[in-house]
Amino acid sequence: MREKIQALMAEVDAFKASNAAELEALRVKYLSKKGDISLLFNDFREVPNELKREVGQLLNDLKTKAQDRIAALKEEIGAAGASSEQLDLTRTAEPVALGTRHPLTLVKNEIIDIFARIGFTIAEGPEIEDDWHVFGALNFAPEHPARDMQDTFFIEQNPDVVLRTHTSSVQSRIMSVQKPPIRMLFPGRVYRNEAISYRAHCFFHQVEGLYIDKDVSFADLKQALMYFAKEMFGPSTQIRLRPSYFPFTEPSAEMDISCNLCGGKGCPFCKHTGWVEILGCGMVDPNVLENCGIDSNVYSGYAFGMGVERITNLKYQVKDLRLFSENDVRFLRQFESAY
C-alpha cells in the first residue's frame, strides 16, 4: 500500500495540462469515484490495524495534494486563456435582455409629472378599506342608490370591509388628518365586481386629484384640466365639460377631449362625434368637507378622477383592456422605446 501511495504521489507531482479537457481527464483518472486514489481508499480496509493510522494519513495527504494540484492547474489555464483573448469591454452583456416599464406605469408617471408641474404631490392608501372611507365620508348614505353604481368586493362577508372601488378613499383619509390647503394626486389600483371583457376588468388603475383651499372655483378646475389635456394629448386638444352626477361632488361634470385620431372631425374611434370622454370631475360637496372635519364655510375645493387604462387606450390605441394584465411579452415589447 505504501509503495502504491508513493508512486501516485510522484504522478501527482508530474501533473501537467494545457487546456480544460486535459485537466478534466486528470481529475477523472485520479479523483473520480472509480479513480486511482479512490480505489486506494477502498483497499484501505485490508490494511492491518496497527498500520491504519499511518497509511490513512498518507492517503489523506495524497488526496489533498491531488486536489490542490488540479486547482492550481485550473487557475493557470484560466489566467492564460483570459490573457490570450482580446476582451471588448464596451460590448453589451448577452443574452441578458433589458426590461421595460409597463405601459400603464408609463402613462401613470406622465400624468403625475404633468400635475406635479402645477403643485400637486402624491398620497397613497390601503387597497383593503372600510366602508366609511370608501362610501360614508364621501356622501354615500347607507341606502344611497349610487352604491349600486359600483359593484363592490366585500372581504369575508363583512359589509364594513371592502376592496376599494376608487382611490377617493385616500382623499377622505387625507382630508380627515390634514388641514387645507391640500393639493394632491391619488394613484392606485381599484377593484369592482365586473365581468372581464375587452372593455372592462375586475381591477384597474386610477389617478384622482384633490385641491382644497379658500376661494377655489370651478374655473380653477377647468383651467387645471385644460392644462392637463394639452400636455398629455397635444397643444391642439380641446375640452368640453358636460353636466353629470357624482355623490361626492356638486356640481359634477364629465370631461371630453377632441378626438386625437381625427382631430375632432369624427371617426369610428370617437363614434363620429369628434369627442372622447376621459374623466369625471366637480366641486367637492360641502357634506364631504364637513364629514372630514373641514369647515365648508371657509374652504372649497375641486376633485377629478381618471382611469389610467382609459388614458393609455387613447394615447397608444390599445383596444383590449385584457392585454394590460396578461403579461404577453409580444405586447409589452412594443413599449421598449417609450421611456
Domain boundaries defined on the chain: 2-84, 103-335
Q: CATH number of the domain at 103-335, please?
A: 3.30.930.10
Cβ count within 10 A of residue 52: 12
pLDDT digits (tens, 9 = 90+) for 158-213: 778 888 888 999 999 999 999 999 999 999 999 888 888 877 888 899 999 999 99
The DSSP call for residue 296 is T
Query: What's the helix, strand, coil split of the chain in %, to 5?
Result: 45, 20, 35
Q: How confident is the model at residue 120 (pLDDT cuts 50, 70, 90)?
A: very high
**What is the widest separation between alpha-carbon atoms in the chain?**
105
- For the CA atoms of 307, 309, 312, 317, the dihedral, rounded to the nearest 10 degrees, stands at -130
Residue 34: its pLDDT value, please? 78
Give me the helices (H) in 198-241, please. 218-233
Residue 323: its pLDDT value, please? 87
Instruction: Kindly tell me the sign of the dihedral angle through the C-alpha atoms of 57, 63, 67, 69.
Output: positive
Residue with cell 485550473: 74
Cβ count within 10 A of residue 129: 22
The residues that bridge with 189 in the sheet, in sequence order, are 205
In terms of Cβ atoms closer than 10 Å to its own Cβ (0-12, 13-18, 19+), residue 303 is buried
Residue with cell 421611456: 339
pLDDT digits (tens, 9 = 90+) for 232-258: 998 999 999 999 999 899 999 999 999
Cell readout for 107 is 402613462
pLDDT digits (tens, 9 = 90+) for 317-335: 887 888 888 888 888 888 8
Between CA 267 and CA 275, with CA 271 as vertex, the angle to 5 degrees is 85
Judged against a pLDDT cut of 60, whether residue 339 lies above it is answered with no
Cell readout for 8 is 501516485
- Choose among 224, 301, 226: nearest CA to 256: 226
- For the CA atoms of 35, 36, 38, 43, the dihedral, rounded to the nearest 10 degrees, stands at 140
Cβ count within 10 A of residue 3: 7
Q: How confident is the model at residue 84 (pLDDT cuts 50, 70, 90)?
A: very low
Check: CB of residue 162 under 8 Å from CB of residue 134: yes
Please state the φ and ψ torsions of residue 307, each to the nearest 5 degrees. Answer: -85, 130
Query: What percent of the chain is modeled with pLDDT above 90?
Result: 38
